[in-house]
Amino acid sequence: MASERASRKAFLGVSALHFAASAAVTIVWCASMSAMGGMPMPGGWKMSMAWMRMPGQTWSGAATSFLGMWAVMMVAMMLPSLVPMLWRYRQAVGRRDESRLGRLTALVGVGYFFVWIAFGMAAFPLGVALAAVVMQFPEIARAVPIAVGAVVLIAGALQFTAWKAHHLACCREAPGRGRTLPADAGTAWRHGLYLGLHCSHCCANLMAILLVIGVMDLRAMTVVAAAIAVERLAPAGEHVARAIGAVVAGTGLFLITRAAGLG
């Protein structure tokens, strides 16, 4: 129907604007972080400035700045794979007043990204603590390149697990085909949380790669975001996820070999 086509066009247009804005801000922030450089560490690697305070900055200010960057970055990275889920939600709710449907869809998105912001809230103190440890103990700092390779290897291996397949299937199908959902704010919020929880479980291993490679590294961010989108949107997503796992695991082995001086 013409009204449905118009609704879909408007929905995709708004989604594209949000993606473009978040991607632009993320690129600017990444360029700013790149200009600062990293702190050279024993072992021949550099510590990301994302885990450090700027001169005169409090830790609460640093955490707020990180979460702001993280939230915008998550929108840029995850929105392409979230859009189909939001559209399925709109279909499950059924025909409603367009403005009300838009508000409910936005609430689903807020619930979804709330989960990812909580993920960032957990990641920041952990990253700060690990940064403090490696700055204090040079022998641990020298082992970081091998540890990074191990994290990447494990992340690749997790792509082959039933756990990954389960959460990926939930992300690809939610809400289930033919299912209807009540058109109320509470259901929209809970559905957003549901999507966010499954998505964060599904993508945790790939996000771990981003965190250890460089949380504000634009190249790593692009590769991880592309991997997440492809395994969600491509046909036969489970097979795609395994192919990604093979590439990631191979990369992890390469990083370990190089760090150990065997390559």
Look at residue 114 in the predicted model and tell me its pLDDT: 97
**Mean of pLDDT values over 208-225:** 90
Residue 161 one-letter amino acid: T
Look at residue 49 in the predicted model and tell me its pLDDT: 83
> How does residue 40 score in pLDDT terms, banded at 50, 70 and 90?
confident
Look at residue 253 in the predicted model and tell me its pLDDT: 96
| DSSP β-bridge partners for residue 41 | 45
Taking CA atoms, 142 is separated from 41, 44, 137, in Å, by 8, 8, 9
**Mean of pLDDT values over 198-226:** 91
Pick the closest to residue 223 from 251, 195, 200 (CA basis). Answer: 251
Torsion of CA 227, 232, 233, 237, to 10 degrees: 90
Write down the pTM of the prediction. 0.90
Apex 245 CA angle, 244 and 249, nearest 5: 120
Look at residue 177 in the predicted model and tell me its pLDDT: 60
